[in-house]
A and B are shown apart, each in its own frame.
Chain A
Amino acid sequence: MIPTDPHLSIRNLSFSYPEYSGIAARHLFGGLNLELSAGSIDVLLARPDQGKTTLCRVLSGLIPRFSGGQLSGEVRLGNLRLLEQDPYELLEQVGLVFQHPGEQLLASRCDSEVAFALESLGVPRSEIETRLAAALHTMDLERYRRQSPKILSGGEKKKLLVACLLAVDPRLWLLDETLEELDSGTKRQLLQLLRDRGRSTLILSAKWHDLFREFANRIFLMEDGRIRAVGERPGSRDFQRLLLKRGFVLPGEGRNTGKASLPERTSGSPGRSESTDPKTLLVAEDLYFRYGEEGRGAGAAFALQIDHLRLDAGRILSVVGDNGSGKSTLGRLLCGLLRPESGQIRIRKGEVLQPAAVEELNRFTGYLFQDPDLQIFLPTVFEELALGLKHLNLSMEEIRRRVEETVSLFGLPAGEAPPSLMSYGIRKKLQAGVYYLLERPLMIIDEGDSGLSVNDFAEMIRIFRKQEGALIFITHDHRLADALADEVVELKSGSIA
């Protein structure tokens, strides 16, 4: 008898993270209810920080085990009460792919990675080999069998983690933002695989992907601690309006509003009057940078080549491209973290544009790394914001005034709590606040839209725009670039497309 997949039933699930002095307990769920039919692919949409990852971990038994906090409610997978199980007992029931693949990879070879869970289950070696080979074959990763997972690109790492699930084949699959940053061909392949597989799958996503229309059984929306089923038909105007209202798309996104309001696509043709235009802040010419062996993912560009790039005050430029196209490298060249092999970057010094040494670029450019935690080390929001102001010889009141202005501008929590305990989105905004106060002529925001809702990101861009410097934001979201930038530069394999 073929066992039918059990269906998932979540009843009245509530969870809040533990409280610390200075931070009240963060309530994530206040009575969640969800019923999924067996064997279907369902999508749960939720903006960043609404609890997607937390929900996955609760269902896998990992929270509150590793996080502390208060959990109540009931979750059943068929007859099994999930909340009473230890995570390592649930291997064959629930399978989870983490949002950040690097955090889930354990082994030094791809085949060891796929074998790991099977070894835990005590599966005999010959059977491990069969299942492993099939999984790698299905995900088209056989050629990486003996290689380290580290050399894989981000999308390939996610495929490897899916292969790990395939080998175990649990009854419920949880994919936490797995479709992000995959190119559309891979997305389609993955969704097709899930459909063919026929297992119950819950895909969690912060963005709507059109492919969902074709493959998803039902759509759910999680917000403010509750889940509701989306009745509007995907593709319909009502649905678009819902996405807009709930903050998943920006006004003007995804609609063809005519050529006049679309941003210019730069193809790199020079406008040589720039040296006399007082608004021009930076000109980069004939930049060439070649990558070394390490630090380059499989399939990434070999060299970055930029013929001409010009940045004007008050203008917003967006650099888009897939992973490995060279976006971050361009950013690092413009802030002086990397030195080009040839070419020149000139910046405005007083009346004229002059070649800039890397040290000068360090001071000229503010670079917001994708990970806001790279530079957080102080105990309070105030101290983090005030750090950059200390050397300006300002009075204490002036420092306090500027910090308070920034706090309210970016919607940061005031008070004495450590930033490292706040949500990711708030830490991103804190990073923006820190750089806002530094007032550098050129700001580069690298993948700022990951981890922020589109409205929050748009707001951030708007705030920086008021500073009247030049602004670049790097993203792989074309629609966002079109909606927010004055000018879009697309990078493909290291050069402007």
Chain B
Amino acid sequence: MIAQVYGKRGASAVHRYDPRAKTLLLLAFLVLFFLPIAVGHLAAYLAVVVLLSGAFLGLSNTLRPIRMILPILILVMLLTPPFYREGSALLAVRGLTVLSVSGLLLALRLIIRFTGITMVFYLFIGTTDPDELILSFRWFRLPYTVSLILSLALGYIPTIRTLYDQVRDAHRLRLAAKGEGVGEAGVHRRGRGLFKRLRESIPVMTSVLILSVRRIPTLAMALECRGVGRKNARSSYHTLKTRAALLRDGAIALAAVAVLVISVVLFP
């Protein structure tokens, strides 16, 4: 979605699949990964999700979230068994169970669950256009005001990001003669103490905040002179899909959920 914040859009069938139906699928999978079914079966469902992700988002995009959560997974693997030591022991030291089967299984379950949740969220966000997502929230009864805040905020993130970079450049250039080379824009200096960096960032943050806070009345003016605040009902130019398309996408989602339910019942 990073690219989407900056204005590019996906166009595949999955991207155009209705976000409301996608939401149903998301919820279904979330519930699935929390169900107390056998670890092996959970792993199978995870494999399905990973395959779907590979198909819709490509291999490198699929590996990316996995790579990102790898440290956590390792942590869970290492730290969960010490807390859960009932049941048959796998490893015992002087009569004290250090590693038990149930502990290992629990760790596996947690890992599969977390990876599964990560992947379905990633799939959901990666195949959905932000504007459509917000429109779907509105369909789920999110007030227009909140959706406007969301879309405005998304629009201002790159603006403030650029502002921050410029402010940082301006501050550092001005203070360059202090003897600390500042180097190129955007290159973070490593090796300086955490609190020192924090203290030095206060002037930059002050400028950024002042500039941002001053934009508030200006943005409010822009909104009001385009009619925000009127008492009449707003019309909507953009809509999500037509009834027919929604029914079709919804039917696919319901069918998928049905398959999952049957599968869970058959393979507990």
Contacts and interface: CB of A to CB of B under 8 A. Distances in A.
A59 to B, nearest CB: 11
B156 to A, nearest CB: 10
Contacts of B225: 60-62, 87-88, 90-91, 95-96
A376 B182 contact: no
A151 B152 contact: no
A376 B170 CA distance: 10
Nearest to B151: A108
A358 B184 contact: yes
Given A147-B7, A148-B7, A150-B158, A125 B235 contact: yes
A375 interface: yes
Given A128-B235, A129-B237, A88 B227 contact: yes
Interface string B169-192: 111111111110111110000000
A115 B239 CA distance: 13
Contacts of A440: 177
A397 interface: no
A358 B182 CA distance: 8
Contact of A376 (B181, B183, B210, B219): B210
B166 to A, nearest CB: 6
Contacts of B181: 357-360, 362-363
Interface in A350-396: 357-360, 362-363, 365-367, 369, 371, 373-377, 387-388, 391
Interface string B1-19: 0000011010000000000
A103 B222 contact: yes
Interface residues of A, number: 77
B155 interface: yes
A387 to B, nearest CB: 8
Interface residues of B, number: 59
Contacts of B169: 337, 374
Interface in B216-263: 217-230, 232-239
B158 to A, nearest CB: 7
A369 B227 contact: no
Given A86-B229, A363-B177, A369 B170 contact: yes
A103 to B, nearest CB: 5
Interface of B is mostly: helix
B176 A362 contact: yes
A96 B223 CA distance: 12
B226 A117 contact: yes
Given A124-B235, A337-B184, A62 B221 contact: yes
B118 interface: no
B185 A108 contact: no
Nearest to B152: A106
B174 A112 contact: no
A61 B206 CA distance: 31
Given A119-B235, A336-B184, A376-B210, A66 B217 contact: yes
A319 B139 CA distance: 53
A438 B174 contact: yes
Contacts of B159: 102
A440 B176 CA distance: 11
A339 B184 contact: yes
B234 A122 contact: yes
B152 A375 contact: no
A118 B170 contact: no
B236 A377 contact: no
B215 interface: yes
A107 interface: yes
A268 to B, nearest CB: 25
Interface string A109-129: 101100111111111110011
18 contacts: A88-B230, A103-B219, A111-B237, A119-B236, A120-B226, A147-B7, A335-B173, A337-B169, A338-B184, A359-B181, A359-B183, A362-B172, A362-B176, A374-B171, A376-B210, A387-B174, A388-B175, A388-B177
